[in-house]
Amino acid sequence: MRRTGTTRRRALGVTGAAAAGLLASACAEGSGPRGSEGSAPGTLSGADSASAEAPLRTTAARARRELLAHYDAVIAAHPAAADRLKPLRAAVARQADALRGPAAGSTPSPAAPAPTSPSPSGSGSTAAPTSPPAPPVDPDRRKALKELAAAERRSADGHGTALVDAPPELARLLASVAAAGAAHAYLLTEGDPK
């Protein structure tokens, strides 16, 4: 049993480091200027690419924020699991920021979205992320962790599906986030101590 805990912690550390490395490299590659070496005949360029990328980023960032709310709800309901969940939650928070980052900071002007954002009925505005409602959490810790793992898998599957339509930089980021989500799901369900 003691070895399982050590293995799980080591796997968590390795997975977190790998996901952070992939996320950092995807962000670094996406921050440079895009080349116009016509990689594919249907590839969008300039403003068209940015406008096609924005909805994908918004949807992906929203999915990560919903997952954050799920992590928070499980941590609040099962404080004994907090040490195990906080590193995964922190990774999800960084992923949400990375997915939201360039779309919120470079494409639209920072001052432009602010006036439209405070309107209570502005459902189309995504400039200021809102906290999604916390999902219900099973009172049994093991079931709650399984539900959280299932949410990670669904989110990872969604990112995997979205990367097909994404420009190259965003596709790499979505792929790394999907891989991290799959690793999180594994860590949440394997070797769960009683």
The mean pLDDT value for 33-38 works out to 42
- 77 domain residue, yes or no: yes
- 12 domain residue, yes or no: yes
Cα 157 to Cα 162, 176, 190, distances in angstroms:
9, 12, 19
What pLDDT score was predicted for residue 83? Answer: 94
What pLDDT score was predicted for residue 193? Answer: 58
Give the model's confidence band at 24: pLDDT under 50 very low, under 70 low, under 90 confident, else very high: very low
- 120 domain residue, yes or no: no
Give the model's confidence band at 115: pLDDT under 50 very low, under 70 low, under 90 confident, else very high: very low
What pLDDT score was predicted for residue 1? Answer: 42
Q: How many domains does the chain have?
A: 1
Q: Provide the mean pLDDT of the chain.
A: 73
Cα 102 to Cα 39, 99, 125, 146, 170, distances in angstroms:
22, 8, 16, 33, 10
- 41 domain residue, yes or no: no
The Cα 161–Cα 174 span in angstroms is: 9
- 66 domain residue, yes or no: yes
Q: What is the pTM of this model?
A: 0.64
Q: Does the pLDDT at position 140 exceed 70?
A: yes
Structure tokens at 44: 């969008």
- 176 domain residue, yes or no: yes
Which has more confidence, 54 or 21? 54
- 87 domain residue, yes or no: yes
Q: Does the pLDDT at position 167 exceed 70?
A: yes
The Cα 102–Cα 98 span in angstroms is: 8
Give the tens place of pLDDT for each residue, 47-101. 566 677 889 999 999 999 999 999 999 999 999 999 999 999 999 999 999 998 6
What pLDDT score was predicted for residue 6? Answer: 47
What pLDDT score was predicted for residue 5? Answer: 52
What CATH number should be reported for the domain holding residue 82?
A: 1.20.1200
- 112 domain residue, yes or no: no
User: Domain range holding 100?
Assistant: 2-25+51-105+131-189
Which has more confidence, 152 or 115? 152
